[in-house]
């Protein structure tokens, strides 16, 4: 099984102490990634995929959301390539989320395949392509299709890299990940084709569904694996249940429910499927013994983050059945600000600690940034029902959420920019 972070040695080949320091976020391939002689060409930031993309993605989340709040309040009018709300939705999914996914997979795939990691100039060029997309979307008013083409290039290029590495390493088990990244790239292209007509919501739902499935698929591997390692070291009697038929059914029902939600074909059918998927994912989470991990926030946060997935599915199901009482935005933001926001932060903190040779434990600063993201997500989801001014709730929740990512930049940025590889 995968052990402690994104990249590292086979758990069977190292001591428990070494596993705790180094870890792995790879699958049961037994493969060891080869290391370049001078990772990053001597420049620490481009020594591994997680470094520029985690730092860049977090910094972007800390800046883009406050900018959207200023736009929403009528206090700023930047030359965006899209109307304000479309820009906000697009950039959180195809900007921030795409960066974190890229950082994760560029680091995980070499451990799945044993191939040489992408680093140095190729990694720098890929990151600059992502950055060019962000600038094009923020400053591209009047550029029209040129801005959209610049933005679309990154995910198309990244999907190509993922397919090449997985197929070259004959790591067929992770073909579903390749397909999901391809779907994300295709959703971005579709979004741009329809955005000018204001009818791009289906592609925003598609990207959100890809995020949910990645959490269910990849999170469903790493959360119980990391939990098992932590509990086993402490001699716990009950360990997380291994992947089995129940997990397969939960994934299948979740995929079907999200497909109905994307289209949507029939509100009642979509609502019932989403409710069923939410309940199955909640039961799946309970099988992973998360309540035993309260002493270590670095492990506990993975369970809390995953818990947002069933909550979001249930809220989306209720919205499909009774939109008057349950606004669709509540379920969508439970997925994006809650599940995506907290899970990506949990993965980024753990990977950065593990790959910089530090102990896998959360200090007070790390626990604080978890709480900021959690508080911001809760406030955003509950905003429609709170007896408070809605605009004030949006501003307050956004400030908390952005502060969490700013905290990541301040605390983990120095680790990401210094070459202390495990």
pLDDT in tens, 52-81: 999 999 999 999 999 999 999 999 999 999
Quick check: 37 pLDDT over 60? no
Q: How much is the CA Rg of the chain, to the nearest whole Å?
A: 20
Phi-psi region of 238 (alpha: psi -120 to 50; beta: other; left: phi over 0): beta
Q: In the structure, what pLDDT confidence band is assigned to residue 153 with cuts at 50, 70 and 90?
A: very high
Q: In the structure, what pLDDT confidence band is assigned to residue 29 with cuts at 50, 70 and 90?
A: very low
Query: Which of 130 and 2 is assigned the larger pLDDT?
Result: 130
Quick check: 18 pLDDT over 50? no
Domain positions in the chain are 50-199, 244-422
Note whether 283 and 216 are within 8 A (CB): no
Q: To the nearest whole percent, how much of the chain has pLDDT over 90?
A: 77
Say what the pLDDT of residue 14 is.
34
Using alpha carbons, list the distances in angstroms from residue 410 to 27, 76, 281, 342: 31, 26, 34, 17
Q: In the structure, what pLDDT confidence band is assigned to residue 30 with cuts at 50, 70 and 90?
A: very low
Question: What values do phi and psi take at 357, rounded to 5?
Answer: 75, 20
Quick check: 43 pLDDT over 70? yes
pLDDT in tens, 271-328: 999 999 999 999 999 999 999 999 999 999 999 999 999 999 999 999 999 988 999 8
- Length of the chain, in residues: 422
Quick check: 269 pLDDT over 70? yes
pTM greater than 0.75 (yes/no):
yes
The pLDDT mean for the chain works out to 88
pLDDT in tens, 85-112: 999 999 999 999 999 999 999 999 999 8
Give the span between the Cα atoms of 289 and 239, in whole angstroms.
7
Say what the pLDDT of residue 322 is.
92
Give the span between the Cα atoms of 57 and 74, in whole angstroms.
26
Say what the pLDDT of residue 266 is.
67
Query: Which of 411 and 32 is assigned the larger pLDDT?
Result: 411
Say what the pLDDT of residue 409 is.
97
Q: Indicate the range of 86-90, 130-134, 157-161, 354-358 predicted with least confidence.
A: 354-358
Say what the pLDDT of residue 144 is.
83
Angle, nearest 10°, between helix axes 267-286 and 245-262? 150
Q: In the structure, what pLDDT confidence band is assigned to residue 265 with cuts at 50, 70 and 90?
A: low
Q: Position of tokens 């969508």?
A: 332
How many CA atoms lie within 13 Å of 7's alpha carbon, on the beta-carbon side? 29
Using alpha carbons, list the distances in angstroms from residue 310 to 58, 108, 390: 25, 25, 25
pLDDT in tens, 348-379: 999 999 998 899 999 999 999 999 999 999 99
Note whether 96 and 87 are within 8 A (CB): no
């Amino acid at each position: 099984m995968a052990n402690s972070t994104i990249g590292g040695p086979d758990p069977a080949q190292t001591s428990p102490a070494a596993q705790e320091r180094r870890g792995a976020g790879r699958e049961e391939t037994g493969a060891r990634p080869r290391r370049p002689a001078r990772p990053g060409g001597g420049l620490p930031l481009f020594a591994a995929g997680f470094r520029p993309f985690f730092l860049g993605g977090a910094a972007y989340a800390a800046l883009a959301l406050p900018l959207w709040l200023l736009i929403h309040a009528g206090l700023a009018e930047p030359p965006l390539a899209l109307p304000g709300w479309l820009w906000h939705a697009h950039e959180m999914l195809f900007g921030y989320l795409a960066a974190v996914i890229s950082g994760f997979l560029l680091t995980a795939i070499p451990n799945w395949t044993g191939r040489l990691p992408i680093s140095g100039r190729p990694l720098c060029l890929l990151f600059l392509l992502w950055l060019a997309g962000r600038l094009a979307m923020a400053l591209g008013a009047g550029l029209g299709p040129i801005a959209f083409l610049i933005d679309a290039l990154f995910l198309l290029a990244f999907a190509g890299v993922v397919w090449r590495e997985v197929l070259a390493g004959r790591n067929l088990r992770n073909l579903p990940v390749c397909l999901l990244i391809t779907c994300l790239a295709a959703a971005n292209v579709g979004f741009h084709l329809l955005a000018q007509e204001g009818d791009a919501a289906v592609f925003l739902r598609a990207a959100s569904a890809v995020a949910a499935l990645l959490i269910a698929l990849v999170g469903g591997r790493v959360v119980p694996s990391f939990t098992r390692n932590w509990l086993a070291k402490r001699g716990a009697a009950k360990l997380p249940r291994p992947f089995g038929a129940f997990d397969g059914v939960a994934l299948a029902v979740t995929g079907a429910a999200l497909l109905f939600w994307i289209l949507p074909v029939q509100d009642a059918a979509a609502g019932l499927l989403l409710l069923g998927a939410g309940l199955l994912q909640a039961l799946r989470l309970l099988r992973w013994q998360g309540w035993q991990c309260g002493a270590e926030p670095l492990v506990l946060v993975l369970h809390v983050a995953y818990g947002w997935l069933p909550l979001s599915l249930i809220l989306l199901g209720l919205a499909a059945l009774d939109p008057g009482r349950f606004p669709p935005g509540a379920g969508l933001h439970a997925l994006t600000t809650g599940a995506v926001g907290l899970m990506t932060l949990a993965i980024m903190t753990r990977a950065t600690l593990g790959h910089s040779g530090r102990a896998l434990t959360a200090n007070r600063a790390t626990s604080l940034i978890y709480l900021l993201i959690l508080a911001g997500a809760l406030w955003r989801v509950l905003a429609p029902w709170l007896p408070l001014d809605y605009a004030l709730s949006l501003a307050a929740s956004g400030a908390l959420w952005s502060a969490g990512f700013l905290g990541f930049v301040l605390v983990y940025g120095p680790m990401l920019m210094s070459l202390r590889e495990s």
